[in-house]
Amino acid sequence: MDERYAIILAAGKGTRMKSKLYKVLHPVCGKPMVEHIMNRVEEVKPREVVTIVGHGADEVKAQLGARSAYALQAEQLGTGHAVMQAADFLKEKKGTTLVISGDTPLLTSETLDQLFEYHQGKNASATILTAQADDPNGYGRILRDRVGIVDKIVEQKDASPEEAQVKEINTGTYCFDNELLFEALDNITTDNAQGEYYLTDIIEILKDNGHIVAAYQTNDFEESIGVNDRVALAQANEIMRKRINRKHMRNGVSFIDPNTSYIDEEVKIGAETVIEPGVALKGKTTIGENCMITQNSQITDSVIEDNVVVKTSTVEESIVRSGADVGPYAHLRPKAEVHQQAHVGNFVEIKNAVIGEKTKVGHLTYVGDATLGKEINVGCGTVFVNYDGKNKHHTTVGDHSFIGSAVNLIGPVNIASNTCLAAGSTITDDVFENDMAIARARQVNKEGYAKRLPFLQ
């Protein structure tokens, strides 16, 4: 097998996006488009990858890191000009070079691998990845001769009325004999409607020199979609989302309404888990088996183990252990850890805290910067007061303790195991094992005083 190389075109600003964010960095299902492309390219195992950068070069480099070499296209003079910038890396090398745009995130590695295989099987100098489009407007057209051999590619703005009727389109993805590619690049000109160096002109140059030009047509037009504006970006997100959801359903996950479930590409979900409508699973989230994620929950970069129920809640950068349940309307902020069979109820917020095994935090409570042991009951309205205006302070509560309603725990404070904190208390000092702490003003009844209050008259 010939050596494989790849050139990713990622220099365009994308003015039609109407965005300060460079086009190839716009996310599709939680990941920038150019990273989708890099992932697919790596799966076909090229020896070297060169990314052509221009607008947003530093941001693109930061996104892809050491996975690629980089060549700067300081002035955007067309796709042919962009590929020219890779000459210092690839010009003298033997093998097959894939040229792919950084704004086509729906292409699959299977299609790219088939393109390579077809190119080598035809002993071609160039192979164009094509597709049939019901509406080819905006795409370059593939023109073939009477026996079906590729004659040339004509761009939309250069097409005659007859040529514009052709529905086989150029996806902008190619395989080239690497040495012939860079030889042909020396002969392209800007004699066209755009005044640019068209990469597509190489096809005619190679044919005129007697080389074989082939075209491999993908069966799925959707793979070829290039994202040039927000409409196409939404379309790409929708297509990829359906693709991701189908994959999970085939692996044993149930979606009540897959059309309203938003799952990022790197999310993992175990079998027999049920995803209700409006759920968003983002980043590198992992959901275990036999879980229930109810409607409108949002989980980001978190681990949800087996047999967990998350009811209409938000979970961020946290861990929920097996058998626990969360919500409804709970908020697990970063570094929350809910242990086995624990209960986090409605309108509970947890941040940088551990909730021990079988501990219950039922409702209307804030737990921040704390470690709670096992089998603790936390009453309604409890607040772990962790911030003094300058520093955060930690609170520890031992196993089998009981915290009454409306207790304030002023950190730093240590509550030993088997203790009881009376309702309405403000706890500022350590509480020792088997003690009950009461820290509230003594009740005084003023006889008859209510009659003197004007708002009760």
Q: List C-alpha distances in Å: 54 to 12, 13, 74, 277.
A: 7, 8, 6, 41
Query: Is 333 within any annotated ligand binding site?
Result: yes
Q: Looking at this protein, which amino acid is placed at residue 157?
A: K
Q: How many CB atoms lie within 10 A of CB 265?
A: 19
Tell me how far apart the alpha carbons of residues 141 and 132 are, in angstroms, rounded to a whole number: 10
Query: Is 368 within any annotated ligand binding site?
Result: no
Query: Is 405 within any annotated ligand binding site?
Result: yes
Query: Is 73 within any annotated ligand binding site?
Result: yes
Query: Is 65 within any annotated ligand binding site?
Result: no
Query: Is 155 within any annotated ligand binding site?
Result: yes
Query: Is 210 within any annotated ligand binding site?
Result: no
Q: Catalytic site residue 393? A: no
Query: Is 140 within any annotated ligand binding site?
Result: yes
Find the catalytic residue in 211, 331, 363, 393: 363
Smallest Cα–Cα separation from 434: which of 408, 402, 405?
402
Query: Is 396 within any annotated ligand binding site?
Result: no
Query: Is 134 within any annotated ligand binding site?
Result: no
Query: Is 10 within any annotated ligand binding site?
Result: yes
Query: Is 74 within any annotated ligand binding site?
Result: no
Query: Is 351 within any annotated ligand binding site?
Result: yes
Query: Is 88 within any annotated ligand binding site?
Result: no
Residues contributing to the annotated binding site: 9-12, 23, 73, 78-79, 101-103, 140, 155, 170, 228, 333, 351, 366, 377, 386-387, 405, 423, 440
Residues contributing to the annotated binding site for acetyl-CoA: 386-387, 405, 423, 440
Residues contributing to the annotated binding site for Mg(2+): 103, 228
Residues contributing to the annotated binding site for UDP-N-acetyl-alpha-D-glucosamine: 9-12, 23, 73, 78-79, 101-103, 140, 155, 170, 228, 333, 351, 366, 377
* Catalytic positions, written as ranges: 363
